[in-house]
Chain A
Amino acid sequence: MKSNAILDVMVKDHNRLMKYLEDVKKNIKSDFDVLLKSFNTFEWNLEKHFFVEERAIFTSYNPDYIEDGHQLFTNLSKQHTSILEKVESLRKRLRSGKSIDVSDLEVMLLKHKTYEEKNVYPVLDVEISEGEKRFMIERIEEIRL
């Protein structure tokens, strides 16, 4: 049985991100500066998380069936793009002093998180060698998540 090293690190960060989103939700009725600060923290941490996934994990994984791996990661990267577009549209509303609702974003993130935790990282942890895993973990650790 191989370790769940990658799944463990990424689940931990998913939960951290959901907490940052929770902070934004709590601050929706608060003072603008408080809301903006929590939104900035959430966005910056989400950007780091996606960077780690796309540049430290997806690109280091070379499955035997290249097409399968390629297709899987292309879909995940597309989901990242949609999530970031949603975040950008919320940021625009925030900048123009309009109220924001994070429900859609929350649904998108939960769906994405569940998919990765069930179908991506457990598979990756089993399929790659411990050497490759160590290499990925070293890269992940270069980004303070």
Chain B
Amino acid sequence: MKSTDILDLMLKDHNRIMKYLEDVENNLGKGFGFLSNSFNTFQWNLEKHLFVEEKAIFTSYNPDEPDKKYTYFSDLMDQHTEILAIIESLRKKLQKREPFDLNELKKLLMKHKTFEEKNVYPVLDQEIDDCTKRVIIDRIKEIRL
């Protein structure tokens, strides 16, 4: 049984991002400054997380069957695009000071997080060799998550 280093790091960051989203939710009825600050923090941290996944993890993984990798990661990237599009639409509402709710985003993030924690990172941790894992972890650590 190999280590679960990548899963551990990413799970920790998933939980951190969900807390940032909770902060946004808690600030929904408060002043614009509070809401805007918490939204910016959430968005910036989510963008760093998605960057790490796409550029430090997905691109470093080269399975024996490249087709498998393609479907797998291209689905995840499509989900990233969908999540970022929702955030962009919420940001536009925020800029116009229109009310917004986070239910759709929350549902999408939970689904994405669960899929990665069950089907992506545990598999990756077992399939890649220790050397590749070290390269991935070193890269993840270059981004302050």
Contacts and interface: CB of A to CB of B under 8 A. Distances in A.
Contacts of A111: none
A51 to B, nearest CB: 5
B47 A144 contact: no
Interface residues of A, number: 11
Contacts of A44: 55-56, 139
Main secondary structure of the interface of A (DSSP, over half): helix
A108 interface: no
A142 B144 contact: yes
A55 interface: yes
Interface in B47-79: 47-48, 51, 55-56
Q: Interface size bucket, B side?
A: 10 to 19
A55 B44 contact: yes
A62 to B, nearest CB: 10
B129 interface: no
A47 B55 contact: yes
Nearest to A139: B44
A139 B40 CA distance: 12
B110 interface: no
A28 to B, nearest CB: 22
A126 interface: no
A142 B139 CA distance: 13
Nearest to A62: B95
A33 to B, nearest CB: 12
A63 to B, nearest CB: 15
A48 interface: yes
Interface string B12-43: 00000000000000000000000000000000
Interface of B: 44, 47-48, 51, 55-56, 139, 142-144
6 contacts: A47-B51, A47-B55, A51-B55, A143-B48, A143-B144, A144-B144
